[in-house]
Structure 1
Amino acid sequence: MQNSTTKTASMVEGGILASIAIVFALISVYLPFLGVIVNLIWPVPILLLGVRHGLKASLMCLAVAGIIIAILINPIQAISVVFGFGFIGIALGYAINQAWSPLKTMIIGTGASLLSKGAVLLISIVLMGINPLTVQLAATGQALEQALSIYQSLGFTAEQLQEIRTTMETTIGLLKYIMPAGFALASVVDTYINYLIAKKILARLGNPQPEFTEFRLWQIPGYVLWIYGVSLLLVTFYNQDPTNILYLIGVNVQMVTNVILLIQGLSIAYYYIHYKNWPNFLKSLIVILLFSNQFLVQVVVLMGAFDVVFDYRRLNTRNK
């Protein structure tokens, strides 16, 4: 009797969460200005079902949602949603259901997100004959021309316009090479957002999840610094040949490890603000300054790198 009740509850809950996923898909199509936000959290219903009722329930929910989206909208949209976002929910739901640590859950979710993005890219190229990366770069080029037209109407000189064009074209050219790193970092961000939302919902449902280690105590493995150093060497040696595979690997790995060291450096700053009992608003101030000052970014990255070597906070000593 109890098994029957549990099965019925699972089916009812699965139907409700599948309906929410379908509504999210409809919103993303018919209300494009909300589409980015809705797509970002689309995995949450699938995730919640996986946590509460297991992998099989979440897979069934994903399949049902995909079929109904194909009927209501079109099959391409269904495939894009299922492959692009569904697997993140499946992976995170399974990891949380298995009571894995937050870090391990994030790694699994990030991997699923990265694979999903690759799958969507492949589907777009094969089924629709459209390369989203090429489309995005073309749109960026058009935006550059529009921006230059606006600057010209504002009275910028020809020399100033040329300087802006050169800078922006260099940036756009770099984007072509660092897209894999961009995908990797985006995968971390969307996984973290879905995990946080699900964590809050699960807490309200009486299923609290373990917390991450306090940010001020975060510590990256020492091998990250070695990887960073190798990537710098690759970029330096092959800088004159940006199409070389070793340069492409180096520049993408450098970007990812740069962000990791930046986070490590920021963790150190938070640690000392806490240790010195300074006002908490300084934490927000540092983050704001990082977005506006490239020199400060490099300083914080170096702080992170030096901490890996010298262990300023003596975290390794405490853990022994």
Structure 2
Amino acid sequence: MNRSLQGLVEGSLITAINIVLAWFSYWFFPMIYFIPLPSLILTYRHGLRISILSLIISIILLSLMLSPFSAIFLMLPSGILGLYLGYGLQKKFNLRLLIVGSFTLLLFFEILSIYLSMILFKMPFEKVIGIDAMKEGWRKSLEIFRNYLGESNNEYIDMQNKFMENLHIFVPYFLIISTLFQVFLNYIIVERVLKRFKIEAPSLPNLEGFRISKKLLFSVLALYILFIFVNIPSKNIILSNLYLFLQTIILFNGYIFAWILLKHYISRKSLRILLFILFILNPIFGSIIFIVGFVDIFFPLREKLILKEG
């Protein structure tokens, strides 16, 4: 079979797989993380032209089963992500370029879907991004919290209430964090599946060996300081999001340290996971982990206390 005919046959098969995956993900959302795979493999094997054609046909056929809007916004972002990753692997892009490109694409489609939902369906901004549902969930949780603890934690409750009232300010932060989560989850799935097809892909670093770089921390801190002295209309929103992002990366580093610590001293995985969840949920542990995470960025704490012993 010549190369062109083989590409057409595989393109037809990939189109069918695309439609099946997208249809299943409409009813079971986690399946959406597998949608990039068919386009990725087709692009890697036969290039962009036939892959783009396959994606367009998939969207047209899927729109006959679902609404055109659902078909486009269900398949287009993941399909284009698959095209980009397939092209990137074919051209031997490094891991950083693959991740940054994927993040940029998905963030663009996140913002576009919010904008179009507001324009086409006349939906308010808070409803589109789910803030109203989060606030309602918080109110119900607050009632349970008060019944359980009484009036002993009013200061903590007031602080959380203030955060929920200003939740719309942190939309940029939530968009960036959720997009990063999607990118890394997508890439983990892609990497594991591609190994079975014997397609080489740059590997993500081991989580236990990952440390937030001083360069990233100083970059965010420098931006924060810069915007303190800049007078623009959205200054407070930018500062609030940068501050929250700064806290997040330090906490993330601290949680990695906590996981390494638990893994080193506790052999039972179930107990390890239970204690780790406790660390996440308990505010006191959160403060300790924040301090440890900050120290570990500048000082080789894990190597001194844990890895050296191992």
TM-score, structure 1 normalization: 0.76
C-alpha separation in 2, matches of 1:81 and 1:17? 16
Partner of 2:254: 265
Q: Please tell me whether residue 138 in structure 1 is matched to residue 132 in structure 2.
A: yes
Match of residue 27 from structure 1: 24
Separation in 2 of the partners of 1:294 and 1:284? 17
Change (3 A) 1:290 1:21: farther
Instruction: Name the counterpart of 1:77.
Output: 70
Q: CA-to-partner distance for each residue in 1:119-138, whole Å, 9 max, x for gaps?
A: 11122122222246334223
Identify the residue that residue 173 of structure 2 maps to in structure 1.
181
Partner of 2:109: 116
In the other structure, the counterpart of 2:14 is 17
| Aligned residue number for residue 241 of structure 2 | 252
- TM-score normalised over the length of structure 2: 0.78
- 2:102·2:183 contact (CA, 8 Å) conserved in 1? yes
Which has the larger displacement, 292-301 or 192-201? 292-301
Distance, in Å, in 2 between the alignment partners of 1:91 and 1:283 is: 38
Q: Which residue of 2 aligns with 1:318?
A: none
Match of 1:205 among 197, 207, 223: 197
Q: Deviation of residue 289 (structure 1)?
A: 3.0
| Counterpart contact for 1:266–1:300, Cα < 8 Å | yes
Distance 1:194 1:309 in 2: 31
Match of 2:34 among 38, 41, 66: 41
Is the CA contact 1:216–1:271 (under 8 Å) kept in the aligned structure 2? yes
Gaps of 5+ in 2: 305-310
What is the match of residue 292 of structure 1? Answer: 281
The 3 A distance-change label for structure 1 pair 151 and 294 is closer
Q: Match for 2:127: what amino acid?
A: T
Task: Give deviations 1:221-273, integer Å, cap 9, x for gaps.
Answer: 323222443466689999xxxx9612211222233333322333344456667
Distance verdict in 2 for CA 1:177–1:270, change over 3 Å: same
Change (3 A) 1:87 1:301: farther
Structure 1 residue 104 displacement after superposition: 2.9
Q: Do 1:234 and 1:250's aligned partners in 2 also have CA atoms closer than 8 Å?
A: no
Q: Distance in 1 between matches of 2:135 and 2:17?
A: 37
Which of 278, 298, 306 is the matching residue for 2:295? 306
**Counterparts in 2 of 1:76-115, with a 5 A limit?**
76-115=69-108
SS at match of 1:7: helix
After superposition, the Cα gap between the structure-2 partners of 1:155 and 1:308, relative to the gap in structure 1 and judged at 3 Å, is closer
Letter in 2 for 1:101: N
CA distance in 2 between counterparts of 1:6 and 1:310 reads: 55
2:58 match: 65
- Report whether the alignment pairs 1:54 with 2:47: yes
**Deviation of 1:114 (Å):** 0.8
Contact map agreement 2:22 2:75 (CA 8 A) in 1: no
* Inter-CA distance 217–131: structure 2 relative to 1 (3 Å threshold): same
Matched residue type, 1:57: I
Query: Please, what is the CA RMSD of the aligned residues?
Result: 3.8
How far does residue 312 in structure 1 lie from its aligned partner after superposition? Answer: 4.2
Corresponding residue SS for 2:85 = helix
Structure 1 vs Structure 2: percent identity of aligned residues? 21
SS in 2 for 1:100: coil
Cα deviation, residue 159, structure 1: 6.6
Q: Which runs of 5+ in 1 are unaligned?
A: 316-320
Cα pair distance change 1:27/1:261, threshold 3 Å:
same
Count how many residue pairs are aligned between Structure 1 and Structure 2: 300
User: What is the rounded CA distance, in whole Å, between the counterparts of 2:251 and 2:297 in structure 1?
Assistant: 12
SS, match of residue 166 in structure 2: helix
Distance 1:144 1:263, change over 3 A: closer
Amino acid corresponding to residue 310 of structure 1 in structure 2 = F
Q: Distance in 1 between matches of 2:115 and 2:213?
A: 33
